[in-house]
Structure 1
């Protein structure tokens, strides 16, 4: 796996590859399933963006066509499958983005797909992010303290204060999450997934 392949993949591309790891799908099903699962809360999902991402993944060899079908008067639908390289890209992308304190969208997608990694690896990666967030919080706290000491009007510090509050909440949540993972309070991986009627109903609804 080349670093270039991992760095070029977008959060949308990762979500598509993760979907295809569940089974072969056509883009229309992918779009409906993402919306049914409310994954559109992570980023704006348009049909244009999704189809463009599918084309890029196909060009990169991360997915492959496995068939074309037509139902009634509907347009032809091409079904895709994830390639072994595509599966590896998802794992490597999550490994890169999960510990990073940069980019909220990328982290949210990485966190949503963290279940693809072993629990212990996820804990180690989250600890790296926790340290980075604590350092960033310390810098914000120091900056605010220095600004106040210099008499900077509070109205100019509102954005910094907000960011400090968000970082404080994020650090506390991260500590709690790591503790829960260490204590096996969160079922993980395939052992923690119930192939329920609700999941099957979602897949069926997305295929309509």
Structure 2
């Protein structure tokens, strides 16, 4: 294929849903693949006064590289950094009730995305072997699992059954009283954080 045809084919096949593609840099990627011997010029074409088009084909080295790369993608777990994971790791910076509201909003958005994917599947699945929809089903399954976990997390924060919510609330109560994080950390290190919180809350 020539680069524009590659772009068109990937878009028609919906590859943006499962592969992070930057079509603007495709020509640079192709030049890099050619430089490293993974693809080679197969032929050139010209139609009338239009610019010459270069058609590429994969080389034997490219097939070996693609095979090894794909095997690694499938069999080797790697650490990824989803934005929601970052947010959850830092959520104690916000008030518990604020986090519950935000989680509820995210669950609503996930419900909408899952419903949209289900509708899309009804439209494109007819006549398409399941083999070619595996990544679509995988993504939907991941969204469904995320939705279930976050909905449960919001409920547990809201009803205070999540271990540590009490301390979380107490931390923000101290901050509201004007204590700095340095003051609070000092109290924690001295072991009198609990009494300070008890005095503050009248317990």
TM-score, normalized by the shorter chain, greater than 0.5: no
What TM-score range do you get, normalising by the shorter chain? 0.3 to 0.5
